[in-house]
Structure 1
Amino acid sequence: MTMKLLYGAGPQDVKGYDTQRLRDAFLLSDLFADDQVNFTYTHVDRLILGGAVPVTTSLGFGSGAEIGTPYLLSAREMGIANLGGTGSIEVDGQRFTLENRDVLYVGRGARQINASSLSAERPARFYMNSVPAGADFPHRLITRREAKPLDLGDARRSNRRRLAMYIHPEVAPSCLLLMGITDLAEGSAWNTMPPHLHERRMEAYCYFDLSPEDRVIHVMGRPEETRHLIVADGEAVLSPAWSIHMGAGTGPYAFVWGMTGENQEYNDVAPVAVADLK
């Protein structure tokens, strides 16, 4: 298991960033590697993002040595989304089978987690978000069928999409973590429209199901001074509370969204008109 550190940045800092520095501060491009568990600890609301791809062996993790606690989840909760083939997650001896687009909620206090794939030819691809938690909730598998779907957008504006809530008060309760998956409708390219801010929560995006030649242009920054990141399959973007977020893909794609902050009100947002962006 590896654990990198990211310290985040403020809007005044970003004004002077070149492309590489912007990518270093907000883009995670090394989450998924065969037979590895890779985590990044960010100082943006102390979110931890992780990836695990068990191909030839089971992958175990759970130590809190990197963050100064007995176990990784001694004072944290976690969401694990399977973006690949069928796999399983074992939490302290309790086994859960995750099909593609299933999500497992792991409650505070879990000690040992093991990830494995059913087939090495089509391995599981586990994407993880972990945030500090002040309450105990039971582990729970949320299947794709159990997620709550919301159909949003307008095909005429190329932003028709289906948002599926997984870890959410209306589906599976948690302390502060929200997590879900959004799919773009055929022919649509734009996500998260209109762009918006939510001062009381940060968010992370993990883009997936892109073909190797395609990219998502992820727009971030203050509304009056935007920046952009070019994002490939399996890369994740940090979106601080001060930054807008929206994006468009050169081909089909989906993304996992994860949030944490002061509340779990998904609609606690401040929309920004596209015409006001600079």
Structure 2
Amino acid sequence: MTMKVLYGAGPEDIKGYDTERLRGEFLITDLFAPDAVKFTYTHVDRLMIGGAVPVAKSLTFGSGAEIGTPHLLSAREMGIANLGGSGTVIVDGQGFTLQNRDVLYVGRGAREITVASQSADAPARYYMNSVPAGADLPHRLIPRHEARPLELGDARRSNRRRLAMYIHPEVAPSCLLLMGITDLADGSIWNTMPPHLHERRMEAYCYFDMAAEDRIIHLMGRPEETRHLIVADGEAVLSPAWSIHMGAGTGPYAFVWGMTGENQEYNDVTPVAVAELK
């Protein structure tokens, strides 16, 4: 297991960032590698983002040495989304089978996690979000069909989409983590439209199910002074509470969203009119 650390930045800081610096602070490009477990620890609400792709062997992790705790989840909870082929996740001896688009909630106190694929020809692709937790809740598998869907957007504005809530008080409770998957309808390109801010929560996006030649133009920054990131398949974007987060794709795509902060109120947002963006 490897761990990269990002310290975060404020809205005034990024005014002087060039493309390389902006990408280095907010874009995670090396999540998924064969037979490796990779984590990035950000000081933005102490979110950890991880990726694991077991191909030739199963992968085991759980040590908390790099974050100063006995185990990785001694004081944390985690969501694991399978974005690839069928696989299994074993948490302290308890096994779960995850199909594509299934999500596993792992409660605080888990000591050892092992991930595997059912076939090396179609390996599982595990994407993980972990945040500090102040309560012990049981592990729970949330299959794709148990997620709560919300139909959003307007086809005339090219932003029709289905948002599926997985780790959410209305589906599977957690301490502070929220996690779900959004799919764009055929012909739509815009996500999270209209844009908004949520001062009390940060968010991370992981874009996936994209063709190799396609890209997302992800807009971030303050509404009055936006910046952009060009994002490829399997890359994740950090979105601090002070930043908008919205994007448009050059082809079909989906994304996993994860949030943490002061509350779990999904609608606790401040909308921003598109006409106000600069």
TM-score of the pair, normalised by structure 1: 1.00
Aligned length: 278
Deviation at residue 117 of structure 1 after TM alignment: 0.1
Q: Could you tell me which amino acid in structure 2 is paired with residue 10 of structure 1?
A: G
Amino acid at match of 2:153: G
- The structural deviation recorded for 1:270 is 0.2
State how 1:197-212 maps to structure 2 within 5 Å.
197-212=197-212
Cross-structure match for 1:134: 134
Read off the aligned partner of 2:220 and give its amino acid letter.
Answer: M
Q: Which residue of 2 aligns with 1:103?
A: 103
1:155-234 to 2 correspondence within 5 Å?
155-234=155-234
CA distance in 2, matches of 1:234, 1:123: 14
Cα deviation, 1:215-241, whole Å, max 9, x if unaligned, reads 000000000000000000000000000
Matches within 5 A, 1:84-103: 84-103=84-103
Indicate the SS of the match to 1:70: coil
Residue by residue, what CA displacement relative to the aligned partner does 1:147-182 show, whole Å, maximum 9, x if unpaired?
Answer: 000000000000000000000000000000000000
Question: SS where residue 33 of structure 2 aligns?
Answer: coil
Give, in whole Å, the separation in 2 of the partners of 1:179 and 1:154: 23
Aligned: 1:261 with 2:239: no
Alignment-mate amino acid for residue 109 of structure 1? G
CA displacement at 1:7 relative to structure 2: 0.3
Distance in 1 of aligned mates of 2:19 and 2:261: 28
Q: Matched residues in 1 for 2:136 and 2:202: separation?
A: 22
Specify the alignment match of 1:48 in structure 2: 48
Corresponding residue of 2:20: 20
Structure 1 position 33, deviation (Å) = 0.1
Q: CA deviation at 1:83?
A: 0.1
2:72 match: 72
Kindly provide the amino acid, as one letter, of the partner of residue 199 in structure 1.
E
CA-to-aligned-CA distance 1:160-212 (integer Å, 9 cap, x gap): 00000000000000000000000000000000010000000000000000000
Q: Secondary structure at the match of 1:23?
A: helix
- How far apart, CA to CA, are the structure 1 residues paired with 2:151 and 2:169? 18
5+ long unaligned stretches in structure 2: none
What is the SS of the residue equivalent to 2:66?
helix
Question: Given residue 163 of structure 1, which amino acid in structure 2 is its aligned partner?
Answer: L
In 2, Cα distance between equivalents of 1:5 and 1:114? 23
C-alpha separation between the residues in 2 aligned to 1:191 and 1:39? 26
The residue that corresponds to 2:276 in the other structure is: 276
- Residue type at the aligned position of 1:140: R
Distance, in Å, in 2 between the alignment partners of 1:194 and 1:270 is: 10
Deviation at 1:44, TM superposition (A): 0.4
Q: Distance in 2 between matches of 1:219 and 1:84?
A: 27
Question: 1:183 corresponds to which letter in structure 2?
Answer: D
CA distance in 2, matches of 1:23, 1:177: 25
Query: After the TM superposition, which segments of 4 or more aligned residues of structure 1 sit over 3 Å from their partners?
Result: none
* Offset, 1:61: 0.2
Partner AA of 1:103 in structure 2: V
Q: Is 2:137 aligned against 1:115?
A: no
Cross-structure match for 2:10: 10
SS in 1 for 2:32: coil
Q: Among the aligned pairs, what percent are the same residue?
A: 84
Q: What are the ranges of 5 or more consecutive residues in structure 1 without an aligned counterpart?
A: none
